[in-house]
Amino acid sequence: MDQNVFTSLLDKYIDGSISTAEKAQFARLMEQPENRELLEHALQDAMLTDKYLFPVPVAQTDHFIEQLTAKRHELPPAPVKPIYIYRRWAAAAAVLLLLGTGAYFWYRHTPASRPLTSNTTVRPLHDATPGVTGAVLTLNDGSEVVLDSTGNGVIANQNGTKVLLSKGQLDYRSGTPSAGISYNTMTTPRGRQFKLVLPDGTKVWLNAASSLKYPTAFTGNERKVEITGEAYLEVAQDADKPFILSAANNVTVKVLGTSFNINAYSDEAAVHTTLVSGSVQVATENNNAAVTLQAGKQAILQKRTGKLTIQPADEEQVLAWKNGYFYFDRADIQTIMRQVSRWYDVEVEYQEIPDKKFSGTIPRNVNASQVFKILELTGNVHFTIAGNKVIVRS
């Protein structure tokens, strides 16, 4: 088979210009095991062009899946015989099995032929639904407000500052401050995320299993907050009051006005601070180590050694959680499952730990079983769901 023929048919299939006769030819070629090497090259050429560059942005992924979804019923029935292709291209060829998920998963590892089928070991008894907007607000007096069920409007008035909830976002409106400083703590349980606007206008997005402690009014010559977990911040500019964020392992981020993401989960080996715009200084306890970040850079503090380094940042990967999807780039299964467990609020148990790496994007608005099915199609990891527990094996 001429590689140009297959590539041409693939392009026509995606853009909708394929004829009836060509559909039949394309279906036959897709199912022929002897064409697996040519299939790999054709997919590589198609997926690595500017049109389908990997990592594939979500918009392109959705378009690709939508095109295949719209035309699936038009393809002739395929033979029962399974498709044999290289594992690293399994997900690329498996898009017909993943129609409707909006996901694209790419497995990059040693080539080895393996049948690809739609079978899965996932047997969900209580399939976990994706996380939603929600949080718990702890007021200065220790009382708690569950924001999942609270209606819009003023929910508190603290030392002259009104706390307003509107359309899933918390906003602080400063009035005439009274004596004393009040502190609030916003906490997102597992399976929740939330957005709030601080009294100075700084916008904060909290990922699941995170918290932010802050004053209801910024007084003095600095704006200081404390965070656990992960958050993305767009800091309001105020040259006279630097914004100072304290995180795990005594990491301090000092900014004047900028956008950045910080990942400081207690179960991660490092604290990652990623600068999107502006300039920030990242320092450890007592300024034993300090670095200044420019846009597009990431500071990494290794918790065990205390080593602080800078590297180029992959903003799409870092901000994927905020933009509604998981993004993995050569991630091990434990890294993946830590994110999955926080978002779906599930317990993870390992019977075996696959020593493979995975790359790809998966929407965060699908049920947990769909995430596991996508991962299982690589052929290198398997899941069993029992209640709220997910058992992982190779």
Where among 298, 318, 338 does a domain terminate? 318
In a domain, 121, yes or no: no
pLDDT bracket for residue 198 (50, 70, 90)? very high
pLDDT bracket for residue 224 (50, 70, 90)? very high
Residues 298 and 366: their CA atoms lie apart, in Å, by 29
Residues 361 and 52: their CA atoms lie apart, in Å, by 13
In a domain, 213, yes or no: yes
Closest listed residue to residue 182, CA positions, set 164, 196, 163 = 163
In a domain, 27, yes or no: yes
Residues 382 and 394: their CA atoms lie apart, in Å, by 6
Residues 191 and 136: their CA atoms lie apart, in Å, by 12
Q: Are residues 60 and 159 in the same domain?
A: no
**69-98: b (≥16 Cβ within 10 Å) or e:** beeeeebeeeeeeebbbbbbbbbbbbbbbb
Q: Are residues 162 and 282 in the same domain?
A: yes
One-letter amino acid of 157: N
Q: Are residues 90 and 186 in the same domain?
A: no
In a domain, 19, yes or no: yes
Give the per-residue pLDDT at 53.
Answer: 35
The CATH number of residue 277's host domain is 2.60.120.1440
Where among 53, 85, 116 does a domain terminate? 116
Of the segments 65-69, 156-160, 312-316, which one has the largest average pLDDT value?
312-316
User: What is the chain's mean pLDDT, rounded?
Assistant: 75
Domain that holds residue 59: 3-116
Please report where in the chains the tokens 């198609």 appear, as a residue.
46
One-letter amino acid of 47: M
The CATH number of residue 379's host domain is 3.55.50.30
Residues 166 and 154: their CA atoms lie apart, in Å, by 9
Q: Are residues 300 and 386 in the same domain?
A: no
Q: Does residue 95 carry a pLDDT above 50?
A: no
Q: Give mean pLDDT, residues 225-235.
A: 95
Q: Are residues 376 and 306 in the same domain?
A: no
Among the residue ranges 247-256, 268-277, 319-328, the one predicted with the least confidence is 247-256
Q: Are residues 144 and 249 in the same domain?
A: yes
Q: Does residue 72 carry a pLDDT above 70?
A: no
In a domain, 111, yes or no: yes
Q: Are residues 172 and 101 in the same domain?
A: no
Q: Are residues 217 and 340 in the same domain?
A: no
Residues 155 and 150: their CA atoms lie apart, in Å, by 8
Give the per-residue pLDDT at 388.
Answer: 84
Q: From the centroid of its chain, how far is CA 87?
A: 24
CB 229 within 8 A of CB 243: no
Residues 6 or more apart from 178 whose CB is under 8 A from it?
159, 160
Give the per-residue pLDDT at 220.
Answer: 84
Closest listed residue to residue 280, CA positions, set 254, 241, 299 = 254
In a domain, 309, yes or no: yes
Bridge partners for 106 per DSSP = 359
Residues 6 or more apart from 241 whose CB is under 8 A from it?
200, 218, 220, 221, 222, 223
Q: Are residues 314 and 329 in the same domain?
A: no
Give the per-residue pLDDT at 93.
Answer: 39
Give the per-residue pLDDT at 153.
Answer: 79
Q: Are residues 136 and 172 in the same domain?
A: yes
Residues 127 and 122: their CA atoms lie apart, in Å, by 10
Bigger pLDDT: 31 or 225? 225
Q: Are residues 167 and 312 in the same domain?
A: yes
Domain count, the chain: 3
Where among 270, 291, 318 does a domain terminate? 318
One-letter amino acid of 366: V
Q: Give mean pLDDT, residues 211-237.
A: 92
Give the per-residue pLDDT at 187.
Answer: 95
In a domain, 84, yes or no: yes
In a domain, 122, yes or no: no
Q: Are residues 91 and 170 in the same domain?
A: no
CB 313 within 8 A of CB 296: yes
